[in-house]
Amino acid sequence: MTTIKASKTKPVPTFKQDKKSVYLTKQLNLWYGDNHALKNIDLDIKENEVTAIIGPSGCGKSTYIKTLNRMVELVPSVKTSGEILYRDRNIFDKDYGVEELRTRVGMVFQKPNPFPKSIYDNIAYGPRIHGIKNKKILNEIVEKSLRGAAIWDEVKDRLDQNAYSLSGGQQQRICIARALAIEPDVILMDEPTSALDPISTLKIEELVQELKKDYSIIIVTHNMQQAARISDKTAFFLNGEVIEYDETDVIFSNPADKRTEDYISGRFG
Partner 1 sequence: MSVREKFDYELNSAQEQLILLSNMAVNALTKAVDALAAHDIDAALEVIEDDSDINQLEEEINDRVILLIAKQSPVATDLRRLIVIIKVATDMERVGDYAVNIAKETIRIGKEELLSPITEIQEMHRLATAMLNRVIEAFIEEDIVKAKEIAELDDQVDALYGEVINKLLVAGAQNPDKISQITQLAFVCRYMERSADHATNIAEQLFYLVRGRHYDLNK
**Under the rule (CB under 8 A), what is the footprint of partner 1?**
1-2, 4-7, 9-10, 12, 224-225, 228, 252-255, 261, 264-267
Cα–Cα distance list, 21 to 16, 45, 100, 127, 189 (Å): 11, 6, 19, 27, 18
CB of 244 to partner 1, least distance (A): 12
As a whole number of angstroms, the distance between CA 65 and CA 171 comes to 22
Do strands 216-220 and 50-54 pair parallel, antiparallel, or not at all (unpaired)?
parallel
What single-letter amino acid sits at 20? Answer: K
CB of 227 to partner 1, least distance (A): 10
Nearer to partner 1, 113 or 253 (CB): 253
As a whole number of angstroms, the distance between CA 77 and CA 79 comes to 6
CB of 258 to partner 1, least distance (A): 10
Q: Using an 8 Å Cβ cutoff, are 240 and 36 in contact?
A: yes
Neighbour-count burial of 14, counting CB atoms closer than 10 A to its CB (0-12 exposed, 13-18 middle, 19+ buried) = exposed
As a whole number of angstroms, the distance between CA 241 and CA 244 comes to 9
CB of 266 to partner 1, least distance (A): 5
As a whole number of angstroms, the distance between CA 169 and CA 161 comes to 16
CB of 252 to partner 1, least distance (A): 5
Residues 6 or more apart in contact with residue 131 via CB below 8 angstroms: none
Nearer to partner 1, 4 or 199 (CB): 4
CB of 224 to partner 1, least distance (A): 7
What phi and psi, each to the nearest 5 degrees, are found at residue 129? Answer: -60, -35
Nearer to partner 1, 6 or 74 (CB): 6
Nearer to partner 1, 3 or 35 (CB): 3
Nearer to partner 1, 8 or 136 (CB): 8
CB of 206 to partner 1, least distance (A): 19
What phi and psi, each to the nearest 5 degrees, are found at residue 164? Answer: -65, -15
Nearer to partner 1, 123 or 243 (CB): 243
Q: Using an 8 Å Cβ cutoff, are 54 and 223 in contact?
A: no
Nearer to partner 1, 5 or 135 (CB): 5
